[in-house]
Structure 1
Amino acid sequence: MADNYAGYLFAYFKGNETAEEEQVYFALSKGNDALHWHELNGGRPILTSYLGECGVRDPYLARSPQGDKFYLVATDLSIYRNPGWNRAVTSGSRSIMVWHSYDLVHWSDQRMAEVAPEDAGCAWAPEIFYDAGCQQYKVFWASIGSGRYHRMMVAETKDFVHFGKPKVYMDYGYSVLDATLIEHKGLIYRFAKGKNIIQEVGTGFEHDKYKMIHQQVEQDFMVRGEGPIIFKSNVEEKWYLFIDEFGFRGYIPLVTSDLGSGNWQIPAHYTLPGQPRHGSVIPVTLMEYDRLLQVYG
C-alpha cells in the first residue's frame, strides 16, 4: 500500500478558548509534502463530541492492519466548559472517545469507552498500537495513579468495545505522558513527554528495557514541548517528529534520515495548519486523498 500513498492526513484539536476548539479538525498535506498543509472543512470541526464532557482533545488516527478501516480515539475533556487543570487531572473522565470509519469521510456514531481504573484521575491522549503477535490492539494513555503523577497505562481490545483490564505500561517515578510509537526494521521507537521529550528504542511493545536514545529531543529547537507526533515519509527514508511548543509557537516539525540516531534537524521552510494542538498524522492513498478533498474541500 505504501506505493499508493499520495499524502498525509493530520487530525488535531485547536485549544480551549471556545467550545469549538476542543473538537476534531483535519488537515491534508500538499501531496506528499509533509511540511505544507491546508485545513479541511474550511477550518471547522470534522467531528464534534456530544458525550461525556462534550469536548475532545488529542485525537489519534489508526488504520487497521487490513487497511480498510480507521479508528479515531480521543481524550474526553473540556477545559473550556470545566475550567481548572486540577479537576481534569484528579477527577476527570476515565473514558476515551471512539469513532470508526471505512473511508475517512463517513464516521460512526461517537462511543464512550471507560478504560482507566477506578483510582485513576483521568485518561489522557489515548493512542493505538496493533500487536500482530497477539492480533490485538493495544490502547495506551496517561492516568494519574496512586503516586499522584502521570503513568502510561495500557489495555487490549479487538473491537474498541470490549477492553481488557488496564495495567501500567510506563512508570518512571515521575510524570510521563503523550507516549507515541513507530516501528522500523523490527524495532519500536518510543517518544514521550517526561521531564523533556524523550526518545527510546525497544524490541517489542511491552519490552521492559527500552534503551534511551535522547533525553531532551526538543531542547535545541524550542522552549518546551509536548504532544510528539512521529511518522515516516511516504517517499523516502525520512521521519518527521512534530512537537508542540505549547504556549509559544505551537507545533514545530523536526526531521531525520536516521531514526535510530536521535539526531534531528528543523527544516528551513514549513507551513502547518492554523493552531493545531496534540493530534496525529497518517498516510493516505490517492483515492482517500481525493475523496477527502472532494468532501471537505
Structure 2
Amino acid sequence: MSPEPHRKTRPMSRHRLHPLLILAMALFLALAGTLTAATKPAHAATGPAYVMGYFTESPNGLGSDYGLHLAVSTDGLQWTPLNQNNPVVTPTLGTGGLRDPFILRKQDGTFIVMATDLKGTDWSRQSQSIHVWESTDLRTFTNYHLLKLHSMATHSWAPEAYWDASRGQYGIIYSSVNSSGHNVIMVDYTTDFQTASGPQVFFDPGYDTIDGDLAVGVNGVNYLYFKNNSQGKLLGAKSTSLNPGSFTTFTSGISHGGTEAPIVVKSQTSNTWYLWGDTYTPNGVFYAWQTTDLSAGTWTPVDQRQYTQPLNSKHGTIQPITGTEYDNLVAHYGKPGWNRLKSYNFPDRYVRHADFVGRIDPYPFDPYTDSEWKLVPGLADSAGVSFQSVSFPTRYLRHANFQLELDVNDGTTTFAQDATFYRTAGLADSTWTSFRSYNYPTRYIRHSNYVLRIDPISTATDKSDATFSVGY
C-alpha cells in the first residue's frame, strides 16, 4: 500500500550566544556550584548518583558471568550498565569467579570491593577466603588478593563491611555455618583488609540466616537486614550498638516469591529509604520496597515502572557516589550500545523477538539478547528510528499485515517504510515513549495479547499498550 500522508515537525530555532559570553556564564555557574545539566556533557549526572556492583546469571546460563559488573544511576532506581554489561574486573585466584560483590567507601574516601569466592553454583565448594580489591575510583583495581576469614570447614558467603567507630576498625560480616549447625552471620575485624581477626558470631536468630546488610548509625540505631534462608524472606534486626550478639529482629518477613540478598540504601535527595531484594523464584528478578521511617520496619512495594535493574544482574550492592564520579565512570566505561524497552502496563515484560515475531515477555529469559535493540536512524527517514536486532543484526522490526516481525532488510522502499517509526511522548505517560508508524501515521506500536502490532489508538487501554520505557 502507498503510505498515508504524514507531517514532520521542524525543530525550534535557537539563537546563538557569543562564545566568550557562554564561557563567562559557565565559569560563573561553576564557581557558584550550580552548573546546569544543559551545559554538561550528554552523559553527565545532575547531582548525587549511585553505583551498583553485581554478577550476572540468566535462566539458561547464556548471560552468566562471575566477574564484577558495574552500573550507575542518577536516582538509585533506573540503572545503566557500564562496559556493555561486561565485567570490569575478573578474579584470577581461588575458584576464578565471584558472587555477591560488595562495595564499601572507606574512611579515606577510597573503595574496597569484596566478594564471595565462588564461580557458578557449586554450593559444595567451601572457601574460607573472599576476593578483595582496592580502588580509588572504581576504574582501576589494585592490590587484588584473597583474605582468609576463618579455618572452619565451611564457606564465607556474601561478605560486607562497615566502619565500627567504637573499635576504630572495619567489621566484615558474612554467612558461615558454625557449631549451631546452620548458617549465621559472622564477623571479623580488620584495619587494612589484608588480615582479619578471626570469626565471631555477629547474629544468630536461631535459624538458617544468610546475606546480612547493614545500615549503620541511623539516628543512633544500627539496622541489619538478612534472609531467613528457610522461608526465603527478608527480615530486619536492630541494635543501638554494633556489638556481636546485640541485634534483635523487629520486622515481619518481606518477600516477593523467594527473596534474598537485601540491599538497604537511602536516597541522597529525599528522606526515602529503599530495600532491594533479589528473587530466586523466578531467577534474578529485583524487587524494591520503600519507607520514610527506617525505625518502623514497614515497607511499601515500589511500582515496577519506577525502577529497572541491570540486565541479568544478581545479588547486587549499591553505593552512593558523587556526580563527578558518575561522569568519570560513564566516560571511562561507556553506556551500552543497545537499549531495552519496558512495557508501561506490564512493567515486568520487555519487548523482544521470538521466532522472529515481536512481542513482550516477562523478564528474565534467554536468549537475553533477543530483548536488546539498536535504535538506529529510521531507514525511511533519519528523523525517525528503526529497531535493529542485536541477535540478528541484518534484521529489523517491521510491520506486515500490521503485525511486527523481525525481517531481513531487503533494501526496498517498502521495507524501509515498514521499519521506520517516530518517537513521541508516551500516550499513557508523557515521560515514557510511544512509536508512530511512518507509513501508517494514525497507527502506533502496541501489544495485544503480548504480540506487537501497529493499531489506531483511542482508549485508555490502547494508550497503555502503546507506551514503553526506553532504557537498558
In structure 2, the CA distance between the partners of 1:284 and 1:5, relative to structure 1 (3 Å rule), is: farther
Residue 19 of structure 1, CA deviation: 9.3
User: Which residue, 220, 223, 231 being the options, matches 1:186?
Assistant: 220
SS in 2 for 1:59: strand
What is residue 137 of structure 2 aligned with on the other side?
Answer: 103
What is residue 64 of structure 1 aligned with on the other side?
Answer: 106
Residue 287 of structure 1, CA deviation: 1.5
CA–CA separation in structure 2 for the residues paired with 1:294 and 1:210: 42
Q: Report whether the alignment pairs 1:252 with 2:287.
A: yes
Q: How many residues align?
A: 280
What is residue 245 of structure 2 aligned with on the other side?
Answer: 208
What is residue 76 of structure 2 aligned with on the other side?
Answer: 34
SS in 1 for 2:275: strand
Q: Deviation digits for residues 185-226 of structure 1, max 9, x if unmatched?
A: 1110110011321111110112634342213022xxx11110
| One-letter code aligned to 2:208 | S
Asked whether the 8 Å contact 2:56–2:63 carries over to 1, the reply is: no
User: Which residue, 306, 318, 326 being the options, matches 1:281?
Assistant: 318
CA–CA separation in structure 2 for the residues paired with 1:181 and 1:120: 26
Unpaired segments of 5 or more residues in structure 1?
A: none
Asked whether the 8 Å contact 1:5–1:286 carries over to 2, the reply is: yes
CA–CA separation in structure 2 for the residues paired with 1:207 and 1:53: 30
Spell out the pairing of 1:1-297 with structure 2 (5 A cutoff). 6-15=48-57, 17=61, 21-29=65-73, 31=74, 33-67=75-109, 69-79=110-120, 84-85=122-123, 87-88=124-125, 92-116=126-150, 118-183=151-216, 184-194=218-228, 195=231, 196-206=233-243, 208-218=245-255, 222-248=256-282, 250-268=285-303, 269=305, 270-297=307-334
SS in 2 for 1:162: coil
In structure 2, the CA distance between the partners of 1:109 and 1:209, relative to structure 1 (3 Å rule), is: closer
RMSD: 1.8
Asked whether the 8 Å contact 1:73–1:99 carries over to 2, the reply is: yes
Residue 20 of structure 1, CA deviation: 5.5
CA–CA separation in structure 2 for the residues paired with 1:286 and 1:292: 10
Q: Deviation digits for residues 85-132 of structure 1, max 9, x if unmatched?
A: 3x13xxx1110000011111111142101112x223100000001011
CA–CA separation in structure 2 for the residues paired with 1:170 and 1:182: 15
More RCO (CA 8 Å, sep 6+):
1
In structure 2, the CA distance between the partners of 1:73 and 1:259, relative to structure 1 (3 Å rule), is: same
In structure 2, the CA distance between the partners of 1:97 and 1:84, relative to structure 1 (3 Å rule), is: closer
Asked whether the 8 Å contact 2:264–2:274 carries over to 1, the reply is: yes
SS in 1 for 2:270: coil
User: TM-score normalised to the size of structure 2?
Assistant: 0.57
In structure 2, the CA distance between the partners of 1:201 and 1:147, relative to structure 1 (3 Å rule), is: closer
SS in 1 for 2:250: strand
Computing the radius of gyration from Cα coordinates, the structure with the larger value is 2
CA–CA separation in structure 2 for the residues paired with 1:7 and 1:216: 30
Residue 142 of structure 1, CA deviation: 0.6
Asked whether the 8 Å contact 1:213–1:260 carries over to 2, the reply is: no
Question: Could you tell me the percent identity over the aligned residues?
Answer: 31
